[in-house]
Amino acid sequence: MLLAFTRAVSPTLADCELTHLQREPLDVARAAQEHAAYETVLARLGATVLHLPSEPDLPDAVFVEDTAIVLDEIAVVTRPGAPSRRHATASTAAALAAYRPLVHVRAPAPLDGGDVLAAQRRIYVGLSTRTNRAAVEQLAAALAPLDYEVIPVAFTGCLHLTSGVTRVADGLLLINPDWVDPGSFVGYRALPVDPAEPHAANALPVGGSVLHPAHHPRTRARLEAEGLRVEPVTMTELTKAEAGVTCCSLLLQQT
């Protein structure tokens, strides 16, 4: 059973944290509609959608990916790099505790889940404005007994590592090579985004399909040329908050 944890869009979303994008008018009601449609796609592809408690006073609370790292054996509760985001982890931890043993990233190290790319027994962690080497060391120590290798990755140009690279199939990464060096991922083939769509590297495999923002058609064509079935999802307003399709859910495989 595939579980997908999501959280409702906050009415304060327009006050979200921004790092690489300029703030522009954001239609919160439309963002909520986009999020609901995203949940519908997850359910259609076989996921059981579970709603985390609403956090109306936390603008970025909808982006649940940043609050935890879910692996087969455990869940790691993060310590988001933006102080305004740290209050969202408690309700995530409470929900995940029913399914996984928990470990926590401890102060003062910051770690955003969006900086983590899990690829089998390798855990790639982006060094960013939200995640530092102290957090990488904590994560490596926590996961070493489970035989995971934690690998720090430098990148530039975007908020999180998964803004610039995601795994779309076994052995295949979708990547913006101007932001992330494909050579960091030994043993993986890199599919570059279309140069006209630098923000198109964020994708989410679910139920034999790949969720991908609908406003990146050129990169979608590249994914389809690889034989992948792509589910375009509208992210027009959520993208203004530096969101991608991975940001809005935490996936957990329950046997």
| Residue 32 zone, left/alpha/beta (φ > 0; ψ -120 to 50; rest) | alpha
Average of per-residue pLDDT values in the chain: 96
Domains and CATH numbers, the chain: 2-253 (3.75.10.10)
Q: How many residues does the chain have?
A: 255
Q: What distance lies between CA 153 and its chain's CA centroid?
A: 16
- Give the residue-averaged pLDDT of 106-135: 96
Structure tokens at 224: 């389809």
Helix (H) or strand (E) holding 91: helix 89-96
The answer, yes or no, to whether residue 119 has pLDDT greater than 90, is yes
Tally Cβ neighbours within 10 Å of residue 182. Answer: 15
- Give the residue-averaged pLDDT of 119-141: 96
Q: Which residues belong to the active site?
A: 160, 247
> Do the Cβ atoms of 188 and 173 come closer than 8 Å?
yes
The answer, yes or no, to whether residue 38 has pLDDT greater than 90, is yes
Please list the residues that pair with 77 across neighbouring strands. Answer: 68, 104
Structure tokens at 115: 């900086």
Task: Sheet containing 204-206: give its strands across.
Answer: 204-206, 209-213, 230-233
Per residue in 7-37, pLDDT tens? Answer: 999 999 999 888 888 899 999 999 999 999 9
Closest to 213 measured CA to CA, from 169, 253, 247: 247
CA dihedral 54, 57, 61, 67 (to 10 degrees): -100
Cis (ω within 30 of 0) for the bond into 108? Answer: yes
Per residue in 174-207, pLDDT tens? Answer: 999 999 999 999 999 999 999 999 999 999 999 9
